[in-house]
Every structure is written in C-alpha cells, then in structure tokens.
Structure 1
C-alpha cells in the first residue's frame, strides 16, 4: 500500500438497513473507506439475533453473520417516532442513503422518497426491495428461493428430470448488495457534478442480470434455455471423482480428448467412442470410472496444479476447510481473523473484497454495538472527523 487515502474517504453513507442486501452494500462501501453510519431503531437490526454466534472478547455472544455484514461501520440508534429531525440532520451531511431490504423500512422511518429528494437534492437515495418500490409486486415479501424463481434463473437451473435446483445459501441478497454498492459509487461521482438522484433497485431484477446466455440465445437464435439433460458430457466441466474429492476437466478444439488421456495416463480415454461430446455423454459412467481409477491416489489440488502447469482447462472442488487453507486465497489475503472465538476456536471469514493498486480495501473496525456511536454523531454531524 502507498499510504494514500482510500477511494471513498470523503464519502458518508447513511444506512437504514435490515436483512442482508442493504447492510452488505453499505459494508462494501465502508471497505473502500466510506464513513458508514448504520442507523437502527432501539430494537436493532434483527440480524443481530441470527445464528451462528461467536463469543466476543468481553464474553458476550454475538451474531457472526451480523459481524460479517456490518464491520467498518459506526452504530447509531434513533427512535423513528421522536428522532426524525436527528435523522434529517444526518442526511444533510450524507452523500448516500441506503434503505432496505423491504419497502416497510421507508414507512418505519416515515420517509417519502420523492419528498426526501426535494429536501436533499444533492443526496443519492437508493432503495433495495424484492421487486422495486413501484408496480403490482412492490409490497410482496420474498425469500431467496422466491427471488431466484422470479428472476427466471430457475428455468434452466438443475437437470431436466428433476425439479428446479436453487443455488446455495442466499446469493440473491448478496448479488443485490453488490449491485447497490457499485450503483452508489457511480451515483456519487455524478451527484458531485449534477446533483443527487434516486435509485430503485429490484433484487429480483439483479438476479435476472445473470441470464447472460439465456437472453442472447433467445434474441438471436429463438432458442429457449432449459434445464440440462440428465446425462451430459463429463468432460464439459462436471465433477469427476479423484482421490478424496472431485475435479473437473474440459476438452475443446485446442485440447482434444487424447491430451487428457496422455495426461492422466490412461489411453482408454483416447478410444474412438469418447472422441465426441455425444459419445462421452452416452458413456458418462465409463468416463467417470476411467478418471476415478487413474486419479484414486491423487488429491484434487495436485491434479489441478499439474493440469494448470500443462495449460489444460481443469479445476477442482474445494471443501470449506480447504478454502480456509487455499494458497491462492491466502496470497490474496482474502481471509481475516475475526474478533473473539467461534465454538471455542479462532475463526476467519472472507473480508478482502477487492485489491486496488494504490489503496485496496481494509477492515478498520469491528461491527458496532447497538447505538455505540450515537452521541458522537448526534453531537458531531460533520463527516470525516472521527
């Protein structure tokens, strides 16, 4: 690092967020140096009560998920019924207001977005809701499963003989948070030249943006994407057994099947029936057995490293414990040791979201306690003094 100020050093964010997407967006901006004020009601963000819990250095149990979503923030607690004037004071010095994850947040704080934009014309106001703040679905609630289905993603997710397969964890909310973060960055640049704006983000539409092949295929070919057939070419990237885990391998015009046959040391793979994708698909079990027998004593990472050294298109599936010890992620300093202990042991989470040539992103402070910095910001509204 050169010692330069982080890129968003002079930007203040006010977050009125509960859930995952809005707090994650605000945290990403905080990672890049923005001063983020997490404003909560006296009851606090419900995520504070979400498992798993870690034991803090002072002995208290706290949510590990809340910690991940809310480090690099200052904590302010206000009563929506009596402290609306205080909130307006904070907004008068802010660059961005983030509201979400549902439309009820605006009602909780008595905010009319149009009126607020008129009162604070230089402020970027960004809302994150499942289906946007207008239209017939504006007041609908949604889980991650609902968002993935509404986006169109499930129309081609999984295999044809099964029901649609939801992507793991809660990826919709993190995708929406990422979208909100970079939209806010662009809006701040524009606001300093042309004034503030209102950004209405639909979380479902954020997921629709992942249909990078589905839409062009229909537009240019008239083809409707569907879930994959139950039997596919194992050398199109599907997991193949190796050692105590799984690897993947892909053939193409530059890497014919014979190259992989030589690489794994089993010339059976070069037999004519395996030359085409169709031939391999109809003999998927046999291809998997060839790899299993050739690689049963080789660990997946070793296979991947050898294949990469040869310039082959290959990969391997890492377990959670392997990710924590991954040399590549270690070199990029992705993981950070978090405060306290989890299940009696030190714990780490991915914290470095981006590496920049001059400044990078950093973790400057742990997630705040409820209202921890209220007095500081209510009495000192100017950004950047702490």
Structure 2
C-alpha cells in the first residue's frame, strides 16, 4: 500500500500564476474544475472541505486494488495540485480560520447557493473589508442577485439541469429523437472555464485599480453562452433548433460516417476542401455539381452528401480513410478511452498525468491540462489531497500556533 507524507505548502509554486493564493470553498465539479485550472497554472490552491469531505470523495470509481478508498477517480482528477484542509465553516472558530486565510489570499472560489456564505459571515462584502483586493468568484446554478436576480436563484442545480435549461440537451441527440445529455459534465465544466477566465480578468484589473471584484458565473448562463448558435438561428430565421444528430445545421459535410471498423468524423464545409475531398474519394465530378458547388448548396442537399460519403467510408477501415484524407481535409476516428491513451498525439502533447493514489502500489492516469507554454518544461501533477492532509500547514499559514491548532482540533472546528 502507498503511504504518503503531506507536502508542505510552498511560498510560491512554479507556473505563470505562481504567487497567487486561492482559497477554494467549492465542491462537486464546477468550482473544483475552476480551481483545478488555476492550480495547473501555478496558483497555490487551498481546498477547504467540511468534516465529511467533498461530496465527490466517495463517488468513485475505485480501482480493485485500492486498499484505502480515501477517494476515487472523480475526486482525484479535478482536485490535483491542491492542498487540502478540513474546516467546519458552521462554527465561529472555523469561519474565523477562513477569514484569516482570506487576509493573505488573492482569490476565493465557492459554489454555494445565494445567501449561504453571508449567513456564515463569509460573504463578499464581509471578506472585502478584511482584504479589499480579494477576487471573490461564485459559480452558482442560476447566478447571484448582485449581478441579476433570477427567479430560480434559490434552486439547486446539477450538470444535467444546466444542460437542459441552457439549451444543450435540446439540440443534442438523433434527429427527431429525444434530447440527450452530452457525455462529459459540460453543465459544470463550461461555467468552470468561464469562471477561471473571469477570475483572472479581475486579478488583472486589480493590478491597476487596487481593488478586487465579485465574479459571478451562472451554470445556466454558461451553457446558454456556449450554445450561442441556437440564439442567432432563432433571431435570424425564426427557427427553433432541435436535436441535430451528428450533422450541422449550416455546414456540409460536417458529420460522423460509418467505417468498416467503427466511425469516422469528417468535415469539408469550405469549397476548397469539398473539391479536394471529391477528388480523393474518386468522385471529382461532384465538385462541379450545382447541387454541391457551395456550402449553402450542400447544406440544402445534406442528405445526398451524407449518402455519397457514407457509402464510400463504409467500404473502408478508419485507418484507410485517415491515411488517404489525413492532412487533406479535417478527418479523424471516433476514439474511445483505450484508443485515446494509445494515440501518439496524446503522448507527444503530454496530455496524460501519472499520479500516485493513496492505498495503491501503482500510479493511476488522469487527463492533463491542454494549456501549454512554449519553452516551459512539462510539470508532473501532484495527486489530490487526503481529507485534512494539510490542515496543520494551512493553519500555520494563517498564523495559528501549536496551542491554537490543538484547541481548534479539540473544539471540532478543524480536522
């Protein structure tokens, strides 16, 4: 079994966000994914969990040889590169720990419903009195009344609800079929990315203003913003887009086609790509066919385009298709996890992290950050923290002495 010694929290980490300190009060996926992005870029992220831990700790998946089961793959993946402490915010002493941490921090991220943090004495205005430069980022299902009071603002939300209400489910799935949830939790991940961007914009503004900001990202809003196409389609044409299958409402060809051994994605909406594709598949005359001459023409006859290309791809393997079309037009196989992990691109781009997992003798693999910097060395990830692993380090950072820490533990305010 792997045993681990807590790593002291360094004064600064490496990376472009080195020197920034983040107090992470978030849980589940949206908030932790946001702070994971900041941690990957070098920020020192202190994850504060309640005594029972983040709700994702026991959700798995767990490896068969995990003898500890301190957390599963879900928690490991989005809480890498963070330091973990347990603080009970519902106690006066625990709330004071957070206030003392905030005094020396740059950013706070939370994803509670509106009003929760204020009741704990940890709302933005309360913390800004302690640290006027604090950038306070909230990721909520329906936003915060500070930036626009939604009629749903007190509703809880999860990924599938945000996907549904923001329009993503309504355009996903087989044509004419029921709405379909996307595979990844985009209802959480999209707001997380917007929140990280907004947070860094506020940090940049602080350099000149000297003051922090309250940054508010709604899960509903983030999905809607990412489904921007349905808005202009309705505004320009009065249409109400429905499930699109694997095709595209205004680009053709832009679809997934059958191959002899699976599926292949193929897109050639530009006229030059279309002509090149027609020649490559042995149908050069289609490049001059008035039904297919422009993208607008092809979109009007997308069923015929799909039939022609589908018959050609169905007779060939994915390897044969990519060997012929790769580099000529946008094309790629529909990968699964096993083929992704075997793809040389993924290894050349350092898109996999090997991290230790407490309770296991072998390392596990998680996805790495897609953000790369020229001239920068590839930095290996640190595993996610055990529950309360760095509590003492965090308390010392906040100015607590040994006797103070003993008393906080005795009172149950920290673990």
TM bracket (short chain): 0.7 to 0.9
The within-5 A match list for 1:1-386 is: 5-54=14-63, 59-61=67-69, 62-80=71-89, 81=91, 82-100=93-111, 102-103=113-114, 106=117, 109-134=120-145, 135=149, 136-194=151-209, 195-219=211-235, 221-227=236-242, 236-251=253-268, 252-256=270-274, 259-265=276-282, 275=292, 277=298, 278-279=300-301, 281-282=303-304, 284-285=306-307, 287-293=309-315, 295=316, 298=317, 300-309=318-327, 311-340=328-357, 347-359=364-376, 362-381=379-398
Deviations 1:99-155 (A, max 9, x none): 115447526844233222233211111111100122221110122221112113334
- Structure 1 Cα separation of the partners of residues 196 and 371 of structure 2: 13
CA gap 1:231/1:177 in 2 versus in 1, 3 angstroms: closer
Note if contact 1:132-1:203 (Cα within 8 Å) is conserved in structure 2: yes
Moved more, 129-138 or 33-42: 129-138
**Does 156-165 or 275-284 show the bigger shift?**
275-284
| 108 and 175 in structure 1: CA distance in 2 versus 1, 3 angstrom threshold | farther
Higher RCO structure, 1 or 2 (CA under 8 Å, sep 6+)? 1
- The 3-state SS of whatever aligns with 2:45 is strand
C-alpha spacing 1:368/1:229, structure 2 compared with 1 (3 Å): closer
Considering only aligned residues, what root-mean-square deviation do their CA atoms show, in Å?
3.2
Partner Cα separation in structure 2 for residue 100 and residue 46 of structure 1 = 13
Secondary structure of the residue aligned to 1:133 is coil
After TM superposition, the score normalised by the length of structure 2 is: 0.79
Unpaired runs of 5+ residues, structure 1, are none
- Alignment match, 2:8: none
Contact 2:112–2:140 under 8 Å retained in 1: yes
Given the two structures, how large is their TM-score scaled by the length of structure 1?
A: 0.84
Distance, in Å, in 1 between the alignment partners of 2:368 and 2:231 is: 33
Change in CA separation of 1:381 and 1:246 when aligned onto 2, cut-off 3 Å:
same
CA distance in 2, matches of 1:374, 1:341: 18
Q: CA deviation at 1:7?
A: 1.0
Q: Return the alpha-carbon distance in structure 2 between the equivalents of residues 228 and 273 of structure 1.
A: 28
Contact 1:274 1:280 survives alignment (8 Å)? no
Q: Matched residue pairs, number?
A: 371
Give the 3 Å change call, closer, same or farther, for CA 358–189 of structure 1 in structure 2. farther
Bigger CA drift: 111-120 or 201-210? Answer: 111-120
The structure-2 alpha-carbon separation of the partners of 1:270 and 1:133, relative to structure 1 and needing over 3 Å to count, comes to closer
Deviation at 1:216, TM superposition (A): 3.6
Q: CA deviation at 1:318?
A: 1.1
8 A Cα contact 2:278 2:285, kept in partner: yes
Q: Distance in 2 between matches of 1:308 and 1:46?
A: 44
CA distance in 2, matches of 1:111, 1:185: 21
- SS at structure 2 position matched to 1:238: strand
Q: Does the 8 A contact of 2:247 with 2:256 survive in 1?
A: no
> Are residues 341 and 9 of structure 1, via their aligned partners in 2, closer, same or farther at CA, if it must alter by over 3 Å?
closer
- Unaligned runs of 5+ residues in structure 2 are 1-12, 400-415
